[in-house]
Structure 1
Amino acid sequence: MTARRVLRWVLLTAATVLFLYPFVWLLSASLKPGGQVFDNALLPHTWAWGNYADIWRAAPVAAWLLNSVAVSLAAAVTVTLTSSLVAFGFAYFRFPGRNALFGLVLATMMLPGAVTMIPVYLIWNSAGLAHTQVPLWAGNLFGSAFYIFLLRQFFLGLPREVFEAARVDGASHWTLFWRIAVPLCRPALIVSFVFELKASWSDLLKPLIYLRDPALYTLPRGLKALSDQFGQAGEQRWEIVLAGSVLTTVPLLIVFFLAQRYFLAGITTDNRRG
């Protein structure tokens, strides 16, 4: 038993080191002078803390950070709210064709994003919003098939007798959702929120398509602009780009550690019900 425990800890430690190494390398490279970025040393021979000051001087990083925060929060809040409403409807109400309609919702997950990219762009362009930040989050007002599926499984696990008793006491359908279902499924809602926050924060494709004004750039879009500027053959300053990558990664790590307890609870609860 002891040997198995030691082997398990060795494997877990090896996996942890394997997953942490890319971030450690990124952090180390962002603190190296330009000529040492791609050497084999894990720790810098010379600590170049000025790289982070240089990136703040080279680009409006503060504005990009605020844009990313605003867009990511808007995307996460809207998709969590709308998906939970739809999921609760599929879980609570009994109506003809419910399963077929739910299957149709799930079928939208089979569509690659590239298939709908041009039609969606034309819709936003016809609305006069193609070059604003609105398309980066407003599509979530219609929910997401993945989060609807995830949340529906949690809502189905709630005792129906609780809702029936509340209906007898005169509770409305909104009260059933907001006062009963939402508090009981808080871990699942936090999982959906964190997933979407991460996806929106690190998204590069949509900002590349819709954003033209540098003042509206999110961090990934701004980092791409920095990469184009400092990654060219005549002006290679990869330490600046890597410092920007660290600034993009750290907020997600903070969010995960703050929501870790609820996040892991939501994942483990979902696995038990699956």
Structure 2
Amino acid sequence: MNHIARGTGRLRPGRVLFVLLLLVGAVISTAPFYWMVVASTHDNSELFQSPPPFMPGGRFMHNLVELEHSIGFGRVMFNSAGIAVVYTVLSSLISAMCGYALAKYRFRGRGLLLGAVLATMMIPFQVLLVPLFQMMASLGWVDTYQAVVLPFLANSFGIFLMRQAFLGFPDELIESARIDGAGDLRIFYQVVLPVVRPQLGALVIFTFMTQWNAFLWPLLMLNSEDKYTVPVALYTLIGQSHVDYAGLILGSFLATLPLMLIFFLFQKQFVSGLLGGAVKG
């Protein structure tokens, strides 16, 4: 017992140093969010004082009213939420079904198809902008929500992640379900999919965050102000001669809150899902 106590005592300075490093990292990580809170409660002129304010002011409600008046912040938040939810549901379902087919079905060209899916992950998004824009224009979909959602439903990362998750599912259980008379869709939804819920949850969170923060493609597709998403609407606050820094920071802070809430609620599922999909071969 004395030997264990001495060993624990020798490790204590290292643990203290480790905790201190974590505290420093936490302060550095939370400092930008604290500054967003402080800056959103001050006037534009006060943000450029020397030294800048480090305590919250009293203009939060005024800035919020001005933000709503300038870009209709409540409307654009609703637009972003609707687009992100629809895209997340459809994209996650397609990724799960494609990943299941690539993992459990044997057909000619499966390896070539998987290679093509992985190859698309190496194509820069900027290369696709012009042909995709021409395609949407030819369909008459410019300034529509379907142009924002549909082109990217087949997510190569999601397909690969779900394929890795399905590879660990025993083939014997699938065959047993088939013997019992279950069809392919029933096996997929009632037998296989519940087992990979952590990976599916991680994909849902990742997909939602990606679509919520999307800027360039909605900026190209949406021309009407009443259809803007949050990133596009906040971009309009940056003028040639004037920038509403207080409103921009306040809008960015409010737009970050849903993502932070989702991550804090599902962080265990997010981490376990990514790790679970990574270790399966």
TM-score w.r.t. the length of structure 1 is 0.92
Deviations 1:21-64 (A, max 9, x none): 11211221111122221344462363322212221222211110
> Hey, what does 2:70 align to over in structure 1?
58
Q: Distance in 2 between matches of 1:103 and 1:236?
A: 46
> Hey, what does 1:130 align to over in structure 2?
142
**1:25, 1:42 within 8 Å by CA — same for their partners in 2?**
no
> Hey, what does 1:32 align to over in structure 2?
42
**1:109, 1:145 within 8 Å by CA — same for their partners in 2?**
yes
Aligned with residue 266 of structure 2, among 243, 259, 267: 259
SS of 1:259's equivalent?
A: helix
Shift of 1:271: 4.1
Deviations 1:74-93 (A, max 9, x none): 11111100011100000111
> Hey, what does 1:269 align to over in structure 2?
276
Q: Distance in 2 between matches of 1:272 and 1:15?
A: 28
**1:33, 1:47 within 8 Å by CA — same for their partners in 2?**
no
Aligned with residue 13 of structure 1, among 23, 31, 48: 23
> Hey, what does 1:239 align to over in structure 2?
246
Q: Distance in 2 between matches of 1:4 and 1:266?
A: 31
Q: Which sections of structure 1, spanning at least 5 residues, go unmatched?
A: none
10-19 or 205-214: bigger deviation: 10-19
Q: Distance in 1 between matches of 2:95 and 2:106?
A: 18
SS of 2:144's equivalent?
A: coil
User: What is the correspondence of 1:1-274 to structure 2 with a 5 Å cutoff?
Assistant: 1-39=11-49, 40-41=51-52, 43-44=54-55, 46-49=57-60, 50-141=62-153, 143-228=154-239, 232-233=240-241, 235-273=242-280
SS of 1:87's equivalent?
A: helix
69-78 or 235-244: bigger deviation: 235-244
> Hey, what does 2:7 align to over in structure 1?
none
**2:237, 2:244 within 8 Å by CA — same for their partners in 1?**
no
Q: Distance in 2 between matches of 1:245 and 1:177?
A: 40
Code of the aligned partner of 1:134: Q
Q: Distance in 1 between matches of 2:16 and 2:263?
A: 28
Code of the aligned partner of 1:215: D
**1:30, 1:37 within 8 Å by CA — same for their partners in 2?**
no
Q: 1:87 to 1:198 in 2, by over 3 A?
A: same
Figure out how many residues of one structure are paired with residues of the other and give that number: 269
SS of 1:37's equivalent?
A: helix
Deviations 1:167-219 (A, max 9, x none): 11111111121111211111111111111111111111011101110000001
Code of the aligned partner of 2:203: S
Code of the aligned partner of 2:167: L
* Higher radius of gyration, 1 or 2: 2
Q: 1:238 to 1:97 in 2, by over 3 A?
A: same
Q: Distance in 1 between matches of 2:150 and 2:38?
A: 37
Q: Distance in 1 between matches of 2:253 and 2:21?
A: 28
Deviations 1:134-168 (A, max 9, x none): 11111234x11111111101000111111111111
Q: Distance in 1 between matches of 2:119 and 2:56?
A: 53
TM-score w.r.t. the length of structure 2 is 0.90
Code of the aligned partner of 1:211: L
Q: Give the share of equivalent positions with the same residue, in percent.
A: 32
Q: 1:2 to 1:9 in 2, by over 3 A?
A: same
**1:31, 1:44 within 8 Å by CA — same for their partners in 2?**
no
